[in-house]
Structure 1
Amino acid sequence: MKKRLMGALFILLTILLAGCQEKVTPEDRLAEYVGHWNKGEFATMYKDYLNKGTKEVFSTENFVERQEGLQKDLGIKNVKVTYTKPAKDKEWDIEKPADFPIKVSMDTVAGPVEFEKTITLVNESRDEDENWFVKWDTSFIFPELGEKDTVGIATSKPARGEILDRNGLSIAINGEGEEIGVVPEKFTDETSKTKLAELLGTSVEYIDRQLNQSWVRPIDFVPIEKVAKHETSLLDEAIKIKGVTYQKTPMREYPYREALSHLTGYIGVITAEQLEKRKVKGYTEADLIGRQGMELLLEDRLRGSSGVRIYIKPPEKGAETITVAEIPAVNGETVSLTIDAELQKKTYQAMKGEAGTSAAVNPKTGETLALVSSPGFDPSEFMLGMSGEKLEELKGRPLNPLLTRFAYSYAPGSTIKPITAAIGMEAGTLDPTEGLTIKGPTWSDPSWGGDYKVTRVHAEAPNPIDLNKALVYSDNIYFAREALDMGYESFIEGLKGFGFGEEMPYVNNLEASQISNDGKIGSLGRLADTSFGQGEMLTNILHLASMYEVFITDGVMYKPTLLMDEEKSQVWKEGLVSAENAAILRKSLRNVVVDGFAPAANLPSVPLAGKTGTAELKAGGEERGKENGFFVTYNSENPTFILAMMIEGVEDNDGSAYVAELASTIFAPGSGE
């Protein structure tokens, strides 16, 4: 009896305790559900929190796998779901649904998405227990999303930025070309395939693949090859083949072609190496990218950024899509160079296809007005894809049109003599009025020993030889003796003052000018050689032009610039020559043209000043004995630009006088100077 009473009391106590336990509220359930939602735990949300009606409509696949897939495909991150809490004393009726306002925010590949909705919980019995469960539909993914709608993502490409010259002339632009193609119903002669393949440098197999695409109908235009619109001869030959025609197509254009080819470079299909580095920036295998020159150097500015759009597509035919989020494409920048494209073209043409390089600078700002490598190539051929056979043919040409000559440094020869003079004058060891007596064609210092001698070109120069005569007659012995009077330290420090031995502060990568291979001068003979631009001295063509600025600016050399948005007239070096000494050198440089050995540069209406130079190549093999000719010049009365020109292999063509003749045509009346 006692045991029965104790059992009854235990059961009663259990019932009483259960009745005293606080029941789970819909808010409690919603807080748990939102916690899982924020973590992307969709399987738990489906299994433990969705009501019966929702599960009858949406399977695990429709709820869990779909949302997981969308999070991955749309780059959904930082999901944050919040709800408005009810009053603390809120009483819930299990017979009625519980509604809560919620706010959902997330980041996607197309930008942020935010929306507000009302979420409903209902009380249901499950496994003999009562609880609150969520009523769900697809609008909790995106408000506009219907059960049968699909979610898509689309990208839009930006327009590539264009490159202009200082006057707004087009250097690299988004223009148009021609696309050669065939109309199948007219292109029926099998021999036509062979003719077209040979003309375009492709294969019959490739043409067949194009014709056998699933979309092709007999009346369609089937593209085969893109060509630049200036390839008029090729286009004329193509349409002679029955069934072949062409039509306009968007294309990158390079209006100045060979004249600016090495500077502008070209775009092309991205390489595997480039893609590996730029995948994180959204590049794909089909993208075009800068492959050389400014197209490559300015890639990040010219590319722009792709647009991304997330959209909902209803199942009904013809229904308009609904945009969920969108980041518009941002076109690339238009970048202006300091280059004067017409001056560049004149300079290139003046070089007559000879192997060489030229640079023109504004002496009062440091702006690069021309930077030429000759011969050039047609950038369009590389942009459209060049066959291996054509590439090998270009590489095999004797003058190597693919070599960017302005990027390299060369022995400057006698064009360095005015710089040597300026260093000596500032050091106080060179008196421009003092004449040296120099006899015979060669000279050597007794202390040197060995057979080395300095050789002069014009032994007929009348004594005494002062600075002016030394420049007019380009006397190697005079400058060798002056360099020995200066000594190693003064001469080396003077050259460093002009920027030798350091990288030029320039956007384009040019070889640094050097005093010697190790920056030192190891012997008196080498000191003599270096004084007139031989030995191991090298300078790039732009630096050579820039050094002559000091004669116009009274000692200032400006930082060379290539982009119009760079600050102009930034001082790179200063105090290199006094105003008095600069005036003396300006006068002598004018006399070099009037009285010296480049008569073609002595124009009757344009008073050019400048200095010629010839440098013998010291390399072995076929190069040994060859000479590079130089001329650095400017209009002495109106020095709007300094031009430095180098032509290779002038040993059999009147030496540097030939270069002076070519360069002077740029300044001649009617040239636009």
Structure 2
Amino acid sequence: MTKKKKKSRIYIIWLVNLCLITAVVALFVWYESVPDVSPEKVLKTYMTHISNREYEQMYEMIDAGTSGNISKEDFVKRNSAIYEGIGVDNMKVHITSYDKEQKEICYETSMDTVAGNVTFENKASFILEKGKYKLIWNDSLIFPELDSTDKVKVSTTSAKRGQIIDRNGHMLAGEGVASSIGVVPGKLENKNDAISQLAELLEMKTEDIEKKLAAKWVKDDSFVPLKTVPKVNELKLMSIEPDQETLAEKDRQEKLLEIPGVKILDITVREYPLGEAAAHLVGYVQNVTAEDLEEHAGEGYTSNSVIGKSGMEGLFEKELKGQNGCSITIVDSNGNKKKIIVSTIVENGKDIKLTIDSNLQKELYEQFKDDKSCSVAINQYTGEVLALVSTPSYDNNDFIRGMSSEKWNALNEDENKPMYNRFRQVWCPGSTFKPIIAAIGLTTGAIDPDEDYGNEGLSWQKDSSWGSYYVTTLHAY
């Protein structure tokens, strides 16, 4: 091979290699410029992350440079505060159009919130970066009217719980007034001594009081409630013979007010006027627990709600509860209302009227309050229950004012079982049914009132056809 031919061959090989390298580079550049996911799919994935509260994954899908250079920390804080604050759930996205040239999607969003369903139209813009579509984020992506300095405010109007009333309209459960005893921390003098006095007078543990005062929200001028007690009835004090409980409560509250920093405020509470006389019948309410919120998810309960736990309060919970009113509003930096996103009107609970007669209920309770018994008074013509009593009983107002663990343990450990609802149990009627049978026999003529049945001792049978079966009694007559 001549030198000329050899040189020509090397040139050709070099040229081929150069072409191959150029082709590979071109292919790589082309591959990088072709998006692997469409803008539509990017938007839907982004919205799915919202429902799952995956804010960091959302941040990875935006282009920070065209999104105001927002940091991940600020992005997560802003989005989580709004979406979790309004309780977003069941978010859906429907894309209505896509402008390829402008890389802009128009879409419709639907979501459930604490104030109801929200539907609105919006648009999202994208940028193509290294073969991937990135979302251009700003606050209007949350709500179209939302600016970076705006806030989203959730306001709740609590529904008024319905009353439970007797046949004559007298309240068995409803709104009442109690006294909230608390302290203003900044006005406490000799803090340790003051806490010791409070613990003694309120029958609380010092560590429980200290824990309340150490809560994060507490400031020097805050009113920190410690215990709810019955409001002193001034009319009872003016009576000729005021009851000892009222006098004792008045004396205790006067001693509490001598401690600097102590305040006693009137508060609205659920009240049960008949107390022990109708505790098992009426029942009581308590603050919802985590288990309650899980069991009644989607029914409008919040961490501040109460729920019926027993008796009529529990049986008619849905009717008594009502529905809270709620609104989601955009407010500007000055606190001015800018846009109402959604709102629901408050619906107060319904009143429940029972066939019970309060006076008869109290009379029946007074007669049997020291016995282990259940008693019922019924209108024999209509079947209406006029009174329903279980004894011994407890004061259902204690569950509203806050029951100490000592008192709770005492109730549960009492051998007489005051919390036990005896009229809900199954009982054998026994001898109480004999007068009914006798009356039927006399009315129908099956029994002759003048017949002498003789002394039968402890057992009796009609004749030998009864075999070994006898009607027996515990006492000889």
Q: After TM superposition, give the deviation of residue 147 of structure 1 in Å.
A: 2.4
Which of 216, 236, 252 matches 1:238? 252
- The number of residue pairs the alignment matches comes to 428
Counterpart contact for 2:159–2:323, Cα < 8 Å: yes
Per-residue CA deviations over 1:96-149 (Å, capped at 9, x if unaligned) read x58775433333343222223466679x8x77x9x9997653213201211244
Alignment pair present for 1:432 and 2:447: yes
Rounded Cα–Cα distance in structure 2 between residues aligned with 1:365 and 1:309:
47
TM-superposed deviation, 1:178: 0.9
- List aligned pairs for 1:373-452, cutoff 5 A: 373-391=390-408, 393-394=410-411, 401-410=418-427, 412=429, 414-421=431-438, 431-433=446-448, 435-439=450-454, 442-444=455-457
CA contact (8 A) 2:330 2:340 kept: yes
Residues 228 and 380, structure 1, Cα contact 8 Å, conserved in 2: no
Match of 2:341 in 1: 324
Per-residue Cα deviation, 1:457-483 (whole angstroms, up to 9, x for no partner): xxxxxxxxxxxxxxxxxxxxxxx66xx
Is residue 268–residue 384 contact of structure 1 (8 Å, CA) maintained in 2? no
Does the 8 Å CA contact 2:327/2:343 hold for their aligned counterparts? Answer: yes
How large is the Cα RMSD of the aligned pairs? 4.9
Q: Deviations over 1:612-638 (max 9, x none)?
A: xxxx8xxxxxxxxxxxxxxxxxxxxxx
Report the identity percentage: 33
Q: In structure 1, the residue corresponding to 2:147 is in which secondary structure?
A: coil
SS at match of 1:263: helix
| 1:524 aligns with one of 465, 469, 475 | 469
**Aligned residue in 2 for 1:225:** 227
Separation in 2 of the partners of 1:77 and 1:32? 18
Equivalent of residue 374 in structure 2, options 357, 360, 366:
357
Is the counterpart of residue 296 in structure 1 residue 314 in structure 2? yes
Report what 2:179 is aligned to: 178
C-alpha contact 2:320 2:349 (8 A) present in aligned 1: yes
Residue 141 of structure 1 corresponds to 142
Unmatched runs of 5 consecutive residues or more in structure 2 = 1-11, 24-32, 234-244
* Alignment of structure 1 residues 256-655 onto 2, 5 Å: 256-270=274-288, 277-278=295-296, 287-306=305-324, 309-314=327-332, 316-320=333-337, 322-328=339-345, 330-351=347-368, 353-391=370-408, 393-394=410-411, 401-410=418-427, 412=429, 414-421=431-438, 431-433=446-448, 435-439=450-454, 442-444=455-457, 453-454=458-459, 484=462, 524-525=469-470, 527-529=471-473
What SS class does the counterpart of residue 247 from structure 1 fall into? strand
C-alpha distance in structure 1 between counterparts of 2:384 and 2:280, whole Å: 18
Alignment correspondent of 1:104: 109
Given the superposition, is the C-alpha separation of residues 276 and 29 from structure 1 closer, same or farther in structure 2, using an over 3 Å criterion?
closer
Give the partner amino acid of 2:282: T
Q: 1:485 to 1:201 in 2, by over 3 A?
A: farther
SS class of match (2:363): helix
Aligned to 1:114: 119
Letter matched to residue 112 of structure 2: D
Give 1:285 deviation, angstroms: 6.5
Structure 2 counterpart SS, 1:142: coil
Find 1:199's aligned residue among 188, 198, 201. Answer: 201
Displacement of 1:226 in angstroms is: 0.5
Partners of 1:253 and 1:328 lie apart in 2 by: 26
1:318–1:285 distance in 2 versus 1, CA, 3 Å: closer
8 Å CA contact 2:227, 2:402 repeated in 1? no
1:191–1:54 distance in 2 versus 1, CA, 3 Å: closer
Displacement of 1:392 after TM fit?
5.0
CA–CA distance in structure 1, aligned partners of residues 271 and 465 of structure 2 = 54
By how many angstroms is 1:301 displaced? 3.5
Q: What is the rounded CA distance, in whole Å, between the counterparts of 2:123 and 2:448 in structure 1?
A: 97
> Which amino acid counterpart does residue 111 of structure 1 have in structure 2?
G
C-alpha distance after superposition, 1:377-421 (max 9, x if no partner): 322123323334334555676865444332345554543223323
| C-alpha distance 401-33 of structure 1, shift in aligned 2 (>3 A) | closer
Question: Is the Cα–Cα contact under 8 Å of residues 108 and 122 in structure 2 kept in the other structure?
Answer: yes
SS in 1 for 2:397: helix
If the length of structure 2 is used for normalisation, what is the TM-score?
A: 0.69
Distance 1:158 1:118, change over 3 A: same
Q: Distance in 1 between matches of 2:80 and 2:65?
A: 22
What is the DSSP-based 3-state SS (H/G/I as helix, E as strand, rest coil) of the residue aligned with 1:443?
Answer: coil
1:76–1:109 CA contact under 8 A, matched in 2? no
Q: Is the 8 A contact 1:163 1:172 kept in 2?
A: yes
Displacement of 1:228 in angstroms is: 2.1
Give the match for residue 5 of structure 2. Answer: none
Residue 524 of structure 1 aligns with an amino acid whose one-letter code is: Y
Cα deviation for residue 271 of structure 1 reads 6.1
Rounded to whole Å, the distance in 2 between the matches of 1:348 and 1:424 is 33
Q: Is the 8 A contact 2:162 2:351 kept in 1?
A: yes
* 1:339 and 1:369 in contact (8 A); partners too: yes
* TM value normalised by structure 1: 0.51
1:38: how far off? 5.8
Aligned to 1:249: 267
Alpha-carbon spacing, 1:333–1:83, altered in 2? closer, same or farther (3 Å): same
Match of 2:251, as an amino acid?
A: E
- What whole-Å deviation, never above 9, does each CA across 1:157-210 have from its counterpart, x for those lacking one? 443332111222110112211112346647659766545433321133434445
Q: Find the aligned partners of 2:93 and 2:277 in 1 and give their Cα distance.
A: 58
Contact 2:175 2:270 in 1 (8 A): yes
Q: Secondary structure at the match of 1:524?
A: coil
Q: Quick check: 1:38–1:81 contact (8 Å CA) kept in 2?
A: no
Q: Which has the higher contact order (CA 8 A, sep 6+)?
A: 2
Alpha-carbon displacement from aligned partner over 1:301-346 (angstroms, at most 9, x marks no partner): 33344555444454x3544475433445544332222212222123
In structure 1, C-alpha distance between the alignment counterparts of 2:350 and 2:45, rounded to whole Å: 45
Residue in structure 2 matched with residue 80 of structure 1 by the alignment:
93
CA contact (8 A) 2:188 2:194 kept: no
CA distance in 2 between counterparts of 1:386 and 1:65 reads 39
Check 1:187–1:261 CA distance in 2 against 1; reply closer, same or farther (3 A cut): farther
Q: Does the aligned pair in 2 maintain the 1:71–1:77 contact within 8 Å?
A: no
CA displacement 1:338-370 (0-9 Å, x = unmatched): 212222123223447555332111223222111
C-alpha distance 246-344 of structure 1, shift in aligned 2 (>3 A): same
Q: Distance in 2 between matches of 1:407 and 1:132?
A: 66
When residues 148 and 366 of structure 1 are mapped into structure 2, their CA distance, relative to the original with a 3 A threshold, is: same
Cα deviation for residue 245 of structure 1 reads 4.7
Q: 1:46 to 1:344 in 2, by over 3 A?
A: closer
Give the Å deviation of 1:227: 0.9
Specify the code of the residue in structure 2 equivalent to 1:370. A
The 1-side partners of 2:213 and 2:56 are apart by: 50
Name the aligned partner's letter for residue 94 of structure 2: V
Is contact 2:49–2:57 with CA below 8 Å preserved after alignment? no
State the AA in 1 paired with 2:433.
I
CA contact (8 A) 1:155 1:306 kept: yes
Aligned mates of 2:287, 2:464 — CA distance in 1: 55
CA distance in 1, matches of 2:349, 2:212: 32
Matched to 2:247, the amino acid is S
